[in-house]
Amino acid sequence: MSQPGRFYITTPIFYVNDVPHIGHAYTEVAADVLARWHRQAGDDTWLLTGTDEHGQKIERTAAANGVSPKAWADKLVAEAWLPVLDTLDIANDDFIRTTDERHETAVAKFLQQLYDEGHIYEGEYEGYYCVGCEEYKQLDDLDLPEEGEFAGQYVCKIHSRPVEILSEKNYFFRMSDFGDALLRLYEEQPDFVQPDSVRNEIIQFVKQGLEDLSISRSSFDWGIKVPWDPTHVVYVWFDALLNYATAVGWGADTETFRRRWPAVHIVGKDIARFHAVIWPAMLMAAGLPVPARVFGHGWLLVGGEKMSKSKLTGIAPHQITDVFGSDAFRYYFLSAITFGQDGSFSWEDLSARYQAELANGFGNLASRVIAMLEKYRGGVVPDAPRDVAITDLEKNVTDAAHAAIGELAIHEAIAAIGSLVDALNGYVTEQAPWVLAKDEAQAERLDQVLATLAHGVGTLAVLYSPVMPQATAKLWAALGESGALLEQRVDRAWDRPGGGTVASLDPLFPRIEIEAAAT
Q: Residue ranges for the binding site for Zn(2+)?
A: 130, 133, 156, 159
Within a 13 Å sphere around the CA of 78, how many CA atoms are in the beta-carbon half?
6
Q: Hey, which residues does 106 pair with through a beta bridge?
A: none
Q: How far apart are CA 189 and CA 378, in angstroms?
A: 56
38 carries an active-site annotation: no
- Of 133, 275, 402, 474, which one is the catalytic site residue? 133
Instruction: Please state at what angle helix 279-286 crosses helix 179-188, rounded to 10 degrees.
Output: 110
- Of 75, 109, 225, 306, which one is the catalytic site residue? 306
Taking the CB of residue 28, how many other CB atoms lie within 10 A of it? 26
109 carries an active-site annotation: no
Distances, alpha carbon 428 to alpha carbons 360, 433, 449, in Å: 14, 7, 8
What is the bridge-based pairing of β-strands 164-173 and 213-214?
Answer: antiparallel
306 carries an active-site annotation: yes
Q: Say how many Å lie between the first and final Cα of the chain, rounded.
A: 47
Contact 266, 275 (CB under 8 A): no
Q: Which of 217, 282, 219, 233 is nearest to 99 (CA)?
A: 233
Q: Which DSSP category does 288 fall into?
A: -
- Of 109, 159, 318, 395, which one is the catalytic site residue? 159
Within a 13 Å sphere around the CA of 339, how many CA atoms are in the beta-carbon half?
28
Distances, alpha carbon 465 to alpha carbons 362, 483, 505, in Å: 13, 14, 17
- Of 130, 137, 297, 455, which one is the catalytic site residue? 130
Contact 163, 128 (CB under 8 A): yes
Q: Which residues contact 504 (CB under 8 A, 6 or more apart)?
A: 370, 374, 478
Contact 407, 295 (CB under 8 A): no
Q: Which strands make up the sheet holding 293-297, listed edge to edge? A: 94-97, 44-52, 6-15, 264-268, 293-297, 193-194
- Residue 120 is which amino acid? I
Binding residues: 130, 133, 156, 159
- Residue 463 is which amino acid? L
- Of 137, 156, 265, 275, which one is the catalytic site residue? 156
375 carries an active-site annotation: no
- Of 21, 57, 275, 455, which one is the catalytic site residue? 21
Supply φ then ψ for residue 167, to 5 degrees.
-135, 120
- Residue 383 is which amino acid? D
- Of 157, 169, 309, 375, which one is the catalytic site residue? 309
Distances, alpha carbon 301 to alpha carbons 337, 340, 473, in Å: 11, 13, 32
Within a 13 Å sphere around the CA of 388, how many CA atoms are in the beta-carbon half?
0
∠ CA(349), CA(355), CA(357), 5° rounding? Answer: 90
- Of 24, 38, 297, 455, which one is the catalytic site residue? 24
159 carries an active-site annotation: yes
Supply φ then ψ for residue 370, to 5 degrees.
-65, -40
232 carries an active-site annotation: no
133 carries an active-site annotation: yes
As annotated, the active-site residues are 21, 24, 130, 133, 156, 159, 306, 309
